[in-house]
Amino acid sequence: MSIIEEIAFRQNLRLILLGVGLLAAVIYGAFYCYRPQSLWKTVIKTVPMAACAGALFVSFGSSVVAFALVCSALGDFVLSRNGERPFLLGLGGFSLVHIAYSWHFWMLGGGALTVSFMLPVLVALALSTEIWLSPHTGKLRWFVRFYVVLISLMGVSALALTTHALAMIGAVAFIVSDTLLAMQLFRMREESGLYPLTSVAIWGFYAAGQFLIVAGVGWQTPLF
pLDDT at 83: 83
Contacts of 83 (CB under 8 A, 6+ apart): none
Give the three-state DSSP class for 168.
helix
Longest CA–CA span in the chain (Å) reads 61
Give the three-state DSSP class for 37.
coil
Task: Write out pLDDT tens, residues 177-213.
Answer: 999 999 999 999 888 889 999 999 999 999 999 999 9
Task: Write out pLDDT tens, residues 9-41.
Answer: 999 999 999 999 999 999 999 999 999 999 999
Give domain limits for the chain.
Answer: 3-217
What is the C-alpha separation between 110 and 115, in angstroms, rounded?
A: 14
Question: What is the mean predicted confidence (pLDDT) over 45-68?
Answer: 97
Residue 109: band (very low, low, confident or very high) from pLDDT cuts 50, 70, 90: confident
For residue 185, how many C-alpha atoms fall within 13 Å in the half-sphere facing its CB? 21
Using CB atoms within 10 A of its CB, is residue 41 exposed (0-12), middle (13-18) or buried (19+)? middle
Average pLDDT over all residues of the chain? 94
* 190 vs 90, residue with greater confidence: 90
pLDDT at 89: 94
Give the three-state DSSP class for 149.
helix
What is the C-alpha separation between 160 and 213, in angstroms, rounded?
A: 14
What is the C-alpha separation between 65 and 97, in angstroms, rounded?
A: 9
For the cut 80, the answer to whether the pLDDT of residue 173 exceeds it is: yes
